């Protein structure tokens, strides 16, 4: 990237800058006549000096009044023309600036993708993110005005000065008398502001880094009670930022004071000298008025030019700082990622690395003249003690780190010179902790298959959408962004050894089973939902499972009472009153089950069903009972879990309401107290809570209200509830709930386990497990995979490396976090899968090396021996010690 912001602007927007400059120049003649007209209006149209009416213009005779109106009309036209020029220039400036900002952000982001891995050990996300988002934001506005603003505003100033000179030389000199003072003092103060601004940016980056570190390490803060220390540390950082910003504000307001003070001295000179000249008859009053008006017009462009100078210096510093941070040593060329060979060669023959030298960021050697050679297509183990250089060697061979010196070849392929199109498709690497992206499990699994768009996106015929896409394509070309379509199908099915999406799903299940993640994804699938309109076949299979589930349930006397099904004319005693009233699953937030009492439509239904007073009395009774039972219990008592609709924190509040309210006055209580009581019954489950408040009469009333609720649901709420229907798939419920279509009965021993076993037997009988796993691939794993546990995340990363079928799979202590049985099983599965392909495994347990064809022993950053397991076990003391 260019180190000068002006070179960057000219390289990418020279045409736009020329257009803006020409537009600025074109506006100046109109501006001059706009300044001249007030003099003509006063001296000729109003005072009729040096003119005899009527007067003829282009064959049209005008008297004095008509001449005045014509002059004023022309003045209005010039106002419109001048404002139109300003509008066009400002809009075009804005568009040009935003395009350049988009280009700059894209280039910076693209550079992050090429940063050497050691760079991220010194730069944290909290430091990098603000540079691309907040710090370059002002550059967009400056880039648009970089040339146009000084040309337009400077030209504006010159036109006004020329006008004043034409009117009277002394008036012109009076107008600019104090500008040299501003031109001398303000740049000096601005230089100090710029230096402080640079310091402010540095301190804010450190503060951002501190915030990011706090978020990442908040668990450790809780564990070790160090929140006070962090608050003090952050306070110190805020103090440093405040001190710099305070000094900036002081200097800025001094600059502003000088500008305004000097600007206000202008009228003083005009009134003094100009007034004297008018009295002495050396100046027309119209000329004086026009000169004063023109001087007022000078204020705006002069202020703009001074502000521009400040913005320019600020932008220059920001740009130079950002570019400096985005040019780390060892960054690969862009062509390393963008070059796409016509054919991607396979890695065959022998992998040979010679004289590999690598040091860490402190200069400490990690690999010292390392030489390694082994045949490809074999299973190779890498063993060594801690600090031997194992991790560094695996990252060098995986082409994640460039060595300082040395060559690496795989057969005829020079891996050091090969682009990522080769290394990224023929080599897979998994370290001790892989990264999981904030998207679905399937998107993470297939991540390694998305090298380039292979199939165009199928578009609908929506004209508005098509127009938007065409405009966006134009902007992409103008701003130098990626022309690849994100919405296209990027998955390289051939690389996975399949032909289409359906076959890929089967391959995914096979790979998930290989790393023992299939049962976890099956559970995710059971807890996931699907759209029956988009996946009609799967929805039909779930309904078939529901029917078979209830057939088995009815046929087994020991199970039939363990599930209470949803029936439209029956109250479900194992569901809450709220669930019974809705008789469906809420879609969106319109009917939040935790806040049904606040919903206006629900309140309306309760009123129409004569249930409002009943609910208030029920709420009063529940609250009284809760306060009576739990007032003296500790907050962690199991009863609070049993009656989870009221917590220990809420008890004092309900107790206070009960003290000021009686059952007789319940209809006259305060609105907030009324809402508290009204909300309690919605959470009551009769079979679980057994409070005696849900009588048969209340149940019948709720069933009647249920029908009223569904029949009168307003159009705008029609899609807010997915009602229960025994013959339809409920789109808002997950697969497990769709199969159960009811509630597990409370109070039966091991009811959940027995029903779970029955559900599993139904799934197996209908061969639905693979289908449910496919649904589980749509499970969102959360930020950095936070909804998965550590082992699940690591298994997903291993599966991602396997599914693209690389020629060389490099595992660097990738199963260290697993138990011994899982380690052994996954290792054996992968070695069987990669029969005939290369696996290089840096073993956390060297005694497992017997499973490999060839073993490398590393120590002190060098390969100290290699051979078969039997040979090394018999003749190498270092290997004997490692495997003891």
Same domain membership, residue 293 and residue 204: yes
**pLDDT digits 0-9 by tens, 789-801:** 999 999 999 999 9
Backbone angles phi, psi at 350, to 5 degrees: -140, 140
Quick count: other Cβ atoms within 10 Å of Cβ 16?
A: 22
Query: Does residue 767 or residue 177 have the better pLDDT?
Result: 767
Backbone angles phi, psi at 437, to 5 degrees: -85, 155
- Closest of 517, 611, 506, 583 to residue 799, by C-alpha: 517
Q: 């029920």: which residue's tokens? A: 618
Percent of the chain with pLDDT over 90: 36
Indicate whether 512 belongs to any domain: no
Same domain membership, residue 165 and residue 41: yes
> What is the CATH classification number for the domain harbouring 195?
1.20.1560.10
**Class of residue 882 by CB neighbours under 10 A (exposed 0-12, middle 13-18, buried 19+):** buried
Contact indicator for 413, 873 with CB cutoff of 8 Å: no
- How would residue 286 be classed by pLDDT, with cut points 50, 70 and 90? low
Q: For residue 836, what are its two tokens?
A: 């005939």
Q: Is the dihedral of CA 485, 486, 488, 492 positive or negative?
A: positive
Q: For residue 402, what are its two tokens?
A: 């460039």
- Closest of 303, 133, 138 to residue 205, by C-alpha: 133
Contact indicator for 391, 882 with CB cutoff of 8 Å: no
Taking 70 as the threshold, does the pLDDT of residue 840 lie above it? yes
DSSP string for residues in 711-762: HT--GGGGGGEEE--TTS--TTS-HHHHHH-EEEPTTSTTHHHHHHHHHHHH
Quick count: other Cβ atoms within 10 Å of Cβ 327?
A: 12
Indicate whether 415 belongs to any domain: yes
* pLDDT value of position 621: 85
Same domain membership, residue 823 and residue 714: no
Contact indicator for 248, 204 with CB cutoff of 8 Å: no
Helical axes 137-145 vs 285-325, angle rounded to 10°: 130
Q: For residue 528, what are its two tokens?
A: 């996931």
Same domain membership, residue 617 and residue 679: yes
Taking 60 as the threshold, does the pLDDT of residue 46 lie above it? yes
Same domain membership, residue 718 and residue 728: no
Cα atoms in the Cβ-side hemisphere of radius 13 Å centred on 661: 26
pLDDT (mean) for 102-120: 86
Same domain membership, residue 400 and residue 365: yes
Indicate whether 486 belongs to any domain: no
* pLDDT value of position 191: 75
- Closest of 678, 574, 706 to residue 621, by C-alpha: 678
- Give the integer Cα–Cα distance in Å for 175 and 477: 48
**pLDDT digits 0-9 by tens, 352-363:** 999 999 998 778
- How would residue 137 be classed by pLDDT, with cut points 50, 70 and 90? confident
What is the signed CA dihedral for 632, 634, 635, 638, rounded to 10 degrees? -100
Beta bridge pairs of residue 862: 859
Indicate whether 500 belongs to any domain: no
Indicate whether 597 belongs to any domain: yes
Q: Phi-psi region for residue 710, left (φ > 0), alpha (ψ -120 to 50) or beta?
A: alpha
- Give the integer Cα–Cα distance in Å for 295 and 263: 10
- Which one of 774, 795, 816 terminates a domain? 774
- Count of domains in the chain? 4
* pLDDT value of position 565: 93
Contact indicator for 680, 618 with CB cutoff of 8 Å: yes
Backbone angles phi, psi at 233, to 5 degrees: -65, -40
Contact indicator for 722, 734 with CB cutoff of 8 Å: no
- How would residue 201 be classed by pLDDT, with cut points 50, 70 and 90? confident
What is the signed CA dihedral for 215, 217, 218, 220, rounded to 10 degrees? 180
Same domain membership, residue 18 and residue 165: yes
What is the signed CA dihedral for 747, 749, 750, 755, rounded to 10 degrees? -60
- Give the integer Cα–Cα distance in Å for 822 and 304: 69
- Give the integer Cα–Cα distance in Å for 796 and 433: 11
Give me the chain's average pLDDT, please.
85
* pLDDT value of position 233: 81
Indicate whether 484 belongs to any domain: no
List helix spans (H) across 356-449.
Answer: 390-397, 420-426, 441-445
**pLDDT digits 0-9 by tens, 241-263:** 888 888 887 887 777 777 677 66
Q: For residue 492, what are its two tokens?
A: 């390289």
Same domain membership, residue 19 and residue 110: yes
User: Alpha carbon 31 to chain centroid distance?
Assistant: 47
Percent of the chain with pLDDT over 70: 92
Q: 């540079």: which residue's tokens? A: 131
- Closest of 75, 89, 206, 239 to residue 152, by C-alpha: 89
Same domain membership, residue 31 and residue 46: yes
pLDDT (mean) for 756-770: 92
Taking 70 as the threshold, does the pLDDT of residue 290 lie above it? no
DSSP string for residues in 504-533: HHHHHHHHHHHTT-HHHHHHHHHT----TT
* N-to-C CA span, the chain: 55
Longest dimension (CA), the chain: 124
* pLDDT value of position 648: 66
Q: Which range marks the domain in which residue 878 is found? A: 350-446+784-882
- How would residue 266 be classed by pLDDT, with cut points 50, 70 and 90? low
Same domain membership, residue 796 and residue 764: no
Beta bridge pairs of residue 380: 840, 854
- Give the integer Cα–Cα distance in Å for 881 and 884: 5
Element (H, E) at 316: helix 285-325
Query: Does residue 475 or residue 269 have the better pLDDT?
Result: 475
DSSP string for residues in 841-875: EE-SSGGGGGGSSEEEEEETTEEEEEE-HHHHHHH
Query: Does residue 636 or residue 766 have the better pLDDT?
Result: 766
Query: Measuring CA to CA, how many Å separate 205 from each of 8, 199, 202, 401, 757?
Result: 24, 10, 5, 26, 55
Which one-letter DSSP state was computed for residue 456? Answer: P
| Sequence-separated (6 or more) residues with CB below 8 Å from residue 372 | 351, 352, 353, 356, 393, 856, 863, 866
Contact indicator for 403, 367 with CB cutoff of 8 Å: yes
Q: β-strands 742-744, 808-812: how paired? A: unpaired
Same domain membership, residue 413 and residue 554: no
Q: Which of 53-62, 104-113, 708-717, 861-870 has the lowest mean pLDDT?
A: 53-62
- Give the integer Cα–Cα distance in Å for 277 and 296: 20
* pLDDT value of position 430: 94
Taking 70 as the threshold, does the pLDDT of residue 480 lie above it? yes
Query: Does residue 306 or residue 393 have the better pLDDT?
Result: 393
pTM over 0.85: no
Indicate whether 342 belongs to any domain: no
**pLDDT digits 0-9 by tens, 614-641:** 888 888 888 887 777 776 666 666 665 5
- How would residue 36 be classed by pLDDT, with cut points 50, 70 and 90? confident
- How would residue 811 be classed by pLDDT, with cut points 50, 70 and 90? very high
- Give the integer Cα–Cα distance in Å for 719 and 450: 36
> What is the CATH classification number for the domain harbouring 371?
3.40.50.300
- Closest of 603, 593, 598 to residue 645, by C-alpha: 593
**pLDDT digits 0-9 by tens, 713-730:** 998 898 899 999 999 999
Indicate whether 167 belongs to any domain: yes
Q: Phi-psi region for residue 714, left (φ > 0), alpha (ψ -120 to 50) or beta?
A: beta
* pLDDT value of position 855: 94
Taking 60 as the threshold, does the pLDDT of residue 48 lie above it? yes
* pLDDT value of position 207: 83
Taking 90 as the threshold, does the pLDDT of residue 487 lie above it? no
Instruction: Give ∠ CA 558-560-566 in degrees, rounded to 5.
Output: 155
Beta bridge pairs of residue 358: 367
- The 3-state secondary structure of 248-287 reads HHHHHHHHHHHHHHHHHHHHHHHHHHHHHHHHCCCCCHHH
Query: Measuring CA to CA, how many Å separate 588 from each of 721, 733, 748, 841?
Result: 8, 12, 33, 48
Same domain membership, residue 714 and residue 731: no
């Amino acid at each position: 990237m260019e180190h000068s912001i002006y070179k960057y602007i000219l390289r990418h927007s020279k045409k736009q800058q020329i257009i803006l400059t020409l537009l600025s120049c074109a506006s100046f003649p109109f501006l001059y006549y706009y300044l001249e007209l007030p003099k003509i209006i006063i001296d000729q149209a109003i005072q009729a000096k040096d003119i005899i009416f009527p007067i003829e213009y282009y064959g049209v005779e005008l008297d004095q009044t008509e001449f005045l109106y014509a002059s004023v009309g022309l003045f209005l036209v010039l106002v419109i023309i001048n404002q139109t020029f300003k509008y066009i220039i400002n809009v075009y400036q804005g568009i040009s600036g935003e395009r350049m900002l988009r280009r700059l952000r894209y280039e910076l982001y693209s550079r992050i993708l090429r940063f050497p891995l050691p760079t991220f050990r010194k730069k944290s996300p909290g430091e990098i993110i603000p540079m691309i988002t907040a710090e370059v934001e002002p550059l967009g506005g400056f880039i648009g005005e970089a040339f146009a603003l000084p040309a337009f505003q400077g030209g504006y100033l010159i036109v006004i000065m020329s006008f004043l000179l034409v009117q009277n030389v002394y008036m012109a000199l009076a107008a600019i008398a104090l500008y040299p003072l501003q031109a001398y003092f303000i740049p000096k103060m601005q230089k100090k502001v710029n230096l402080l601004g640079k310091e402010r940016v540095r301190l804010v980056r450190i503060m951002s880094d501190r915030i990011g570190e706090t978020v990442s390490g908040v668990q450790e803060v809780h564990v070790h009670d160090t929140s006070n220390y962090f608050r003090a540390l952050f306070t110190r950082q805020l103090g440093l930022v405040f001190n710099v910003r305070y000094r900036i504000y002081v200097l800025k307001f001094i600059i502003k004071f000088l500008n305004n003070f000097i600007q206000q001295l202008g009228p003083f000179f005009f009134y003094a000298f100009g007034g004297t000249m008018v009295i002495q008859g050396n100046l027309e009053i119209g000329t004086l008025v026009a000169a004063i008006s023109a001087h007022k017009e000078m204020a705006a462009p002069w202020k703009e030019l001074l502000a521009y100078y400040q913005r320019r210096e600020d932008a220059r510093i920001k740009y130079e700082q950002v570019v400096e941070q985005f040019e780390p040593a060892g960054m690969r060329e862009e062509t390393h990622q963008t070059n796409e060979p016509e054919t991607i060669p396979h890695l065959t023959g022998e992998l040979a690395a010679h004289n590999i030298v690598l040091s860490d960021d402190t200069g400490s050697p990690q690999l010292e003249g390392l030489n390694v050679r082994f045949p490809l297509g074999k299973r190779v183990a890498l063993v060594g003690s801690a600090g031997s250089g194992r991790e560094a060697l695996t990252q060098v061979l995986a082409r994640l780190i460039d060595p300082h010196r040395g060559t690496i070849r795989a057969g005829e392929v020079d891996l050091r010179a090969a682009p990522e199109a080769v290394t990224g498709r023929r080599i897979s690497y998994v370290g001790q902790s892989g990264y999981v992206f904030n998207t679905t499990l399937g998107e993470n699994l297939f991540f390694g298959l998305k090298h380039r768009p292979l199939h165009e996106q199928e578009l609908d015929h929506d004209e508005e959408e098509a127009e938007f896409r065409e405009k966006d394509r134009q902007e992409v070309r103008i701003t130098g962004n990626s022309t690849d379509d994100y919405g296209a199908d990027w998955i390289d099915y051939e690389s996975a050894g399949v032909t289409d999406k359906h076959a890929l799903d089967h391959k995914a299940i096979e790979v998930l089973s290989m790393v023992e993640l299939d049962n976890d994804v099956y559970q995710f699938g059971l807890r996931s939902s699907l759209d029956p309109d988009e996946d009609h076949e799967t929805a039909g299979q779930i309904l078939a499972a529901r029917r078979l589930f209830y057939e088995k349930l009815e046929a087994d006397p020991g199970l039939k009472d363990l599930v209470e099904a949803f029936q439209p004319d029956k109250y479900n005693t194992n569901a809450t009153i709220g669930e019974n009233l809705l008789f469906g699953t809420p879609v969106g937030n319109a009917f939040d089950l935790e806040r049904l009492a606040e919903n206006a439509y629900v309140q309306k239904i309760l009123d129409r069903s004569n249930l409002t007073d009943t609910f208030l009395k029920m709420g009063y009774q529940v609250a009284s009972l809760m306060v009576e039972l739990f007032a003296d219990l500790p907050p962690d008592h199991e009863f609070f879990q049993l009656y989870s609709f009221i917590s220990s924190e809420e008890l004092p509040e309900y107790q206070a309401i009960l003290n000021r309210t009686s059952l007789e006055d319940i209809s006259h209580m305060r609105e907030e107290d009324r809402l508290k009581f009204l909300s309690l019954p919605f959470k009551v489950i009769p079979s679980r809570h057994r409070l005696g408040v849900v009588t048969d009469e209340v149940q019948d009333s709720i069933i009647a209200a249920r029908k009223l609720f569904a029949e009168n649901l307003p159009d705008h709420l029609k899609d807010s509830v997915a009602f229960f229907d025994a013959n339809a798939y409920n789109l808002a419920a997950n697969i497990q709930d769709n199969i159960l279509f009811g509630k597990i009965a409370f109070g039966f021993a091991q009811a959940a386990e027995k029903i779970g076993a029955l559900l599993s037997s139904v799934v197996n009988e209908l061969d639905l497990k693979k289908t449910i796993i496919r649904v589980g691939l749509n499970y969102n794993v959360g930020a950095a995979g936070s909804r998965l546990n550590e082992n699940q995340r690591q298994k997903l990363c291993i599966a991602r490396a396997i599914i693209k079928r690389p020629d060389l799979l490099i595992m660097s202590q990738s199963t260290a976090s697993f138990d011994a049985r899982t380690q052994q099983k996954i290792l054996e599965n992968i070695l069987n899968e990669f029969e005939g392909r290369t696996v290089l495994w840096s073993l956390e347990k060297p005694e497992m090396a017997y499973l490999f064809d060839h073993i490398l022993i590393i120590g002190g950053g060098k390969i100290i021996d290699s051979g078969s397991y039997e040979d090394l076990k018999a003749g190498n003391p270092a290997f004997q010690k490692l495997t003891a």
